[in-house]
């Protein structure tokens, strides 16, 4: 299975880059992983609601154009479904058993994801009702993917 993470923006903090690189390395034996960083829209600090929507739509169009046809899409969304690590692992395993060759996980920018991306997603996933930076979400997501791989292979790490 090829797992793609499409995310808006780059990682700026070295400590996060180092941790992300560690999980990318740990995932190598389990699946093919790629991360695509979509460029953030340039903007000022104070935005009107209409301008926020325009920015989300532009970023969303770039995200959608990067998703391979036939992919199972999981959008990270604060209003999405919350699930345990075991339930997430079970979903990944179900997709593998169903022959799904491409899973795309999408992390929006600080304004979130466009409606078009959310509508296209097969699953909207929330880690918490709390707000995290999209850079931190990337690290948490990679850790949860790794945890799912360990759970599905009955290997120690999970607890």
Q: Where are the domains of the chain?
A: 2-152
pLDDT of residue 111: 87
| pLDDT given for residue 159 in this prediction | 63
For 3, 77, 125, 138, the CA distances from 81, given in Å and listed in that order, are: 20, 8, 5, 17
pLDDT, residue 110, reads 86
Specify the pLDDT at position 158. 61
Which residue blocks in the chain are alpha helix, DSSP H? 14-27, 49-66, 85-97, 115-120, 134-152
- Specify the pTM: 0.93
Quote the pLDDT of residue 17: 97
Contact (CB, 8 A) for 105 and 5: yes
Secondary-structure class of domain 2-152 per CATH: alpha beta
Query: Residue-wise pLDDT tens for the chain (159 aa)?
Result: 999 999 999 999 999 999 999 999 999 999 999 999 999 888 767 777 688 888 999 999 999 999 999 999 999 999 999 999 999 999 999 999 999 999 999 999 988 999 999 999 999 999 999 989 889 999 999 999 999 999 999 998 766
């Amino acid at each position: 299975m090829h797992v793609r993470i499409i995310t808006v923006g780059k990682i700026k903090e070295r400590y996060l880059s180092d941790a992300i690189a560690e999980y990318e390395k740990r995932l190598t034996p389990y699946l093919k992983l790629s991360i695509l960083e979509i460029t953030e829209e340039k903007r000022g600090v104070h935005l009107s609601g209409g301008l926020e929507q325009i920015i989300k739509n532009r970023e969303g169009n770039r995200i959608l154009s990067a998703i391979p046809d036939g992919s199972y899409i999981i959008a990270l969304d604060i209003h999405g479904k919350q699930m345990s690590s075991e339930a997430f692992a079970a979903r990944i395993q179900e997709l593998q058993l169903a022959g799904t060759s491409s899973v795309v996980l999408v992390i929006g920018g600080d304004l979130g994801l466009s409606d078009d991306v959310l509508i296209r997603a097969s699953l909207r996933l929330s880690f918490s009702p709390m707000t995290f930076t999209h850079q931190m979400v990337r690290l948490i997501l990679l850790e949860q993917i790794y945890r799912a791989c360990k759970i599905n292979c009955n290997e120690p790490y999970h607890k």
